Amino acid sequence: MNTSEEIKKAVKESYTKIAVKSESDKGCCSPVPQAGGPSCCGGDSETAAVEMDYSNLKGYNPDADLGLGCGVPTEFAGIKEGDTVVDLGSGAGNDVFVARAITGESGRVIGVDFTEAMIEKARKNNVKLGYKNVEFRYGDIENLPVEDNTADVTISNCVLNLVPNKEKAFAEIYRTLKPGGHFSVSDIVVNGELPEKIRKAAEMYAGCISGAVSRDEYLQVIKHAGFKNIKVQKETPYTVHDSIMLDYITPDELKQFKASGTKIVSINVYGEK
């Protein structure tokens, strides 16, 4: 099995490329979808079932949208004016800026990412926007650079799936939420079993796939972290390019996988501290 550090290295390398390279080279998908289109992990318009429409959201900034999510977590997050929001895996700042539009001048939004190039890109975007109550911090989700009891709301978009130790990630979310605070995250889970070759392919972590655990296991991790009132707010089928799968498995194995009934889905999950 790939070690935690190998996985993190693969994810960081992939997302560094996404941050610094052209629009035609953004990791798992080509072409990279634009605002209102499907996520990078979902593939192009012919194969993707996960669609994200940010174009009409207040605070949306196209420069911050790299098409890397698998949902719109702010849609279900229950963010209020004046809230402190923490976005895990904030990338170029897409969800941070949407959240900031909801919290307003009296709120505060903190984005955390462990890819230096993404932090740099997000900070440049924020300078252009001139927000004084937004900040981007470099750090690992398994050891958040956020004080205890900081956030009213924590959000994340197709990122926790990339974290090797999901137990630590949700424990950190619990630690940094205020008593009575809550999270709303979009992520990828599996109903069934992924082929072993895909599970062992660290590169696929950057495509939100091989790190996927079962839906039940994912919800159990959240429960064990101490959260209550856990609910799946939305569940959407999620399709991966055959061409991507064939980089890791044979045509016969792909055929067996399709016949197995295994489903990859995007879910939006909510929980309260």
Which structural domain range is residue 147 located in? 4-272
DSSP 75: G
Q: Are 233 and 144 in contact (CB under 8 A)?
A: no
pLDDT per residue as tens digits for the range 177-202: 999 999 999 998 998 888 888 877 76
The total number of structural domains that make up the chain: 1
DSSP 3: -
Q: Is the pLDDT of residue 237 over 70?
A: yes
Domain of residue 34, CATH code: 3.40.50.150
Better-predicted residue by pLDDT, 181 or 68: 181
Question: Which pLDDT belongs to residue 71?
Answer: 80
DSSP 143: B
DSSP strands (E only) in 149-262: 151-157, 177-191, 228-237
pLDDT more than 90, % of the chain? 50
C-alpha to C-alpha distances, 48 to 189, 239, 251, 264, nearest whole angstrom: 15, 5, 20, 11
- Backbone phi, then psi, for 173, in 5-degree steps? -60, -45
Q: Is the pLDDT of residue 32 over 80?
A: no
Question: Which pLDDT belongs to residue 55?
Answer: 74
Question: Which pLDDT belongs to residue 51?
Answer: 54
Question: What's at 124, amino acid-wise?
Answer: K
Question: Which pLDDT belongs to residue 36?
Answer: 31
Question: Which pLDDT belongs to residue 206?
Answer: 65
| Average of per-residue pLDDT across 79-105 | 96
Question: Which pLDDT belongs to residue 15?
Answer: 73
Q: Are 249 and 200 in contact (CB under 8 A)?
A: no
| Average of per-residue pLDDT across 64-76 | 83
Question: Which pLDDT belongs to residue 94?
Answer: 93
